[in-house]
Structures are given as C-alpha cells and as structure tokens.
Structure 1
C-alpha cells in the first residue's frame, strides 16, 4: 500500500498538507458516518479509514516517514516492480474490489533484498550506541597497545642488549643450577 497514494499526496508533501488530506478523508470515511449504511458500505469505509489512519501515522512522524521512504526505494516499490498478493479465498472485498484480510507475500528481486540489507547495516553502523561502543573499544585497544609498547620500552631501558626471551632462559638455567646444588 502506497501511503502517499492513499492520502492523495505527492512524496514532497508538507506536514500541513498531510494533516489536511487526512482530515478531509477521515471525515469522508469515518465509520461513525456510515453507521446507518449497508454492511458492505460500512466494511469498505472502515477498511479505507484504517488505511488512511495508517498512512497518516506513518507520514506525519518524520522518523517513520524517512524509514518508509527508504524501505520503498530499497525494495523498488516506487519503481514498476511486480507484486503478487495471495488473497485468502474467503476474504471480504470492499467497494473498490480490494480484499482485506489478505496475507500479502510480495516477490522481490535478490538485488533489492541485498540493497535493503546493506541499507539496514549502514543505518546500524551509524546509530549512537554503536558509535559509543566502537569508541570505547578503540580506547581499550589503544590503552592495551600503549601498555604493551611501554613494557617493552622499559625492559630495553633496564636490560640493554638482552631480549626478554634470553633473560628468561638465563633465569631457568640459574634455577636448574640452584636445584642441582641442593
């Protein structure tokens, strides 16, 4: 379902245009307005009102709208892609011939899915918590490198000409000689 199409708007619509379109359509399709109508008219008005409400909730919130726009472009819904919906046989139909109570399974190309996964990964990598954790890990690794390098430097300052391994071998030799004498 295209939220912009449901509200009759362009993708560049302002918040005020979204509010105005929602008000007009909500007044037209509100279930209370159709309470005296036939069951078929009531059902189709209720269905349309739910679509309008969902579209409004998504498009009025800046974050949800950005997510919606990204997901539509990632999956190619804005382009001329083919979507096959498997409707339940017993699903009711509204006055426009659309089924509600359907189980929609959209078929998408593998390239679109790969792009969407890449997009989601990129969004995760730019979240505040990830960046804080990456910074903390970088600080820890830097500290470990500094301590390790500092230890080697101190060893070389106090034991010129000897490597740590050579010193350990001379300690082992001294221990074995000491053990043999007792």
Structure 2
C-alpha cells in the first residue's frame, strides 16, 4: 500500500497538506458516516479509513516518514503493518476496536486508556505519577504565572528598598520615623 497514493499526495507534501488530505479522507470514509450503508460498503469504508489513518500516522512522523521513503526508494514495497506497528490505528493495536454492543459498532480511534496506577509503595511509580500530575499544560501555565507574580513582588520590594536608601541614607526606619514626628511637632508649634 502506498501511503502517498492512499491520501492522494505527492512525495514532497508538507505536513499541512498531509493533515488536510487526511481530514478529507476521514470525512469521506469515517465508519460513523456509513452506519446506515450496506455491510459491504461499511466494510470498504472502514478499511479505507484505517488505511488513511495509517498513512497519516506514518507520513506525519518525520522519522517514520524518512524510513518509509527510504524503503520505497530502495525498491522494497513496504508492508503496511511494518509502518503502522504500534500506531493508534493499526490493526494490531488495541485502540482500533470494533466491538459489537447491542448490534452497534463502537469505534475508539487513537484514544489510549491511561496506564494502571502504580502499586502502593512503589517509589518509581509514585515519581512517575507525580510527574504526570505536574506536566499538564494548565498546571505549567499556572506555575509560570505564579513565578511571574512572585518575581514582580521581589522586584517591587527591592526597588522600594533602594529608593528608601537613596532618600534616607544613613538612617534606619526608626530614626526616619522620629525625624518625621519632630517635623510634625515643629509645624504644630508654629
């Protein structure tokens, strides 16, 4: 199976062209779109959708695409399972499932279940779980925002301290407060 031909692309296609070609193919051959069609048409559409998904996966990944192109240039005809092994749409992968529930097919394209939690007391597993908790994008954005606020507070405090020292050289805060009280008392006496 030629992945470029499957998506209707030339060998120099950009990632954006690959994404657009896959989107068109997915809209045309997605199994949910053919739910009311005959069994043969559903099977054919499902097969074409799976092939388009495999092609998309291989061509979008730079390393896998280079391997694929290298094998094609060498005259070898790459087998589709070699290039899609381990991908979310491969037939050997558990993420492409068509299990029957009440006569309806349920599809799970590319969504993987999270791994099971580590056993209690497993330090490596606990570290991995902690890392998994602190790496979501929202958490990282929040931490960056908090860092900016903290840095701003430090800058403001140091700036105020510097200004204080420039205006009140050689005086402590208590001495400055005493001189202010003396000035107030002198104004009241006059």
Q: RCO (CA 8 Å, sep 6+): is it higher in 1 or 2? A: 1
TM-score after normalising by structure 2: 0.41
Q: What is the TM-score of this pair, normalised by structure 1?
A: 0.42
